[in-house]
Structure 1
C-alpha cells in the first residue's frame, strides 16, 4: 500500500502538514505495539509492521523533497542513470562549476558570495516556475498528468543539482 493510501489522503506534492501530523499521531496511537502485548505473535508482527510503515510514511510525506522523490519513484520516473537534464540548464551549471573551480585556486570571498547569490536566484526561479503545477496537481487543466510529472521530475533533478553546488559553496565558506 502506498503512503497516500495508507494515510487515506489524495496524492499531492503540497500537503496540509498539520493534517498529516494529526493522522500520523492518530495511527501511532492505534498501532502502538504496547497495546498488543497480549495478542498473538502474528498480530504483534502485523502491528509492528503497521507502526513501522506509519513512521516511514510520515518521514517521507512530511519532507517536501522526499515526498516529491517518492511520487516520482511511484510512477517509475526516477531511474538510476536515466535522469537527464536540459542542455541549457547544464550549460548554466557548467559556468557556475567553472567559477567554483576558480575559487579553488584563487579564493575570493566576494566571488563566493556572488556565486551563492546566483545559485539562490536560480533556485528561487525554479521554485517560482514549478509552484503552479504543484498547486494544481493532480487536478491539472491543459496538461496531462504525465506532462506535469515530467515537468516536476525536471524541477526535482535541477534542484538536486543546485543542492550539490550549495554544498560546495558551504565547504568554501567554512574554510574561509
Structure 2
C-alpha cells in the first residue's frame, strides 16, 4: 500500500462512485494507521477516510470514562488525560521489556510499565488494569475498522494488516521476527 501517492488521496475524495470489495487492508506506518480497500469499479485500491475525513489515523489511544478514543480524538486527550492516553504504540510492538525502545518509552511517556514474562504491559489507571501494546493496537484496529464500515456503509469480511518498518525508523526488529518481506506481515 503506497501511502504517499496522490492518486490514493484523490480516490478517497471521490467516494460516491465506489463499489468496495469485502477485504480491508490495514497498514501501520510511521505512527499512523491507513485503511485501504479495493474499488471493484475502477480496479484500484483507495485509501479510506477516517471519522475526521483524513487518510491517516495516529496510533494513539485514550481511555475516557466508558469510552475508548483513537487517533486524533485520543491525541486531544494528552493535555487533560495524559495518564490514560498512549501514543506511538506501533514502536512497542514485539519489543522485549529490557529493550532500549521500551525503556525510552518509559522515560519519555511517563506511563507505568509492568514487566510480565519479559514483555511490557502498560497500566491504564482509570480502567485499573494493564494491557500489552499489541492488545492496545488491536483495540485501535477494531475501532478504525468499525468507523470505516460505518462511514462507508459496508461490511468487510476479512482484513489483513502490515507493519512497515523503514530504515529511518528508530524501531529495529530482529531478523527472526521478519518473514522476509517488506512490509512485514504478522
Q: TM-score, normalised by structure 1?
A: 0.30
* Bigger helix fraction: 1
Q: Using CA pairs below 8 Å that are at least 6 residues apart, which structure has the higher relative contact order?
A: 1
* Bigger strand fraction: 2
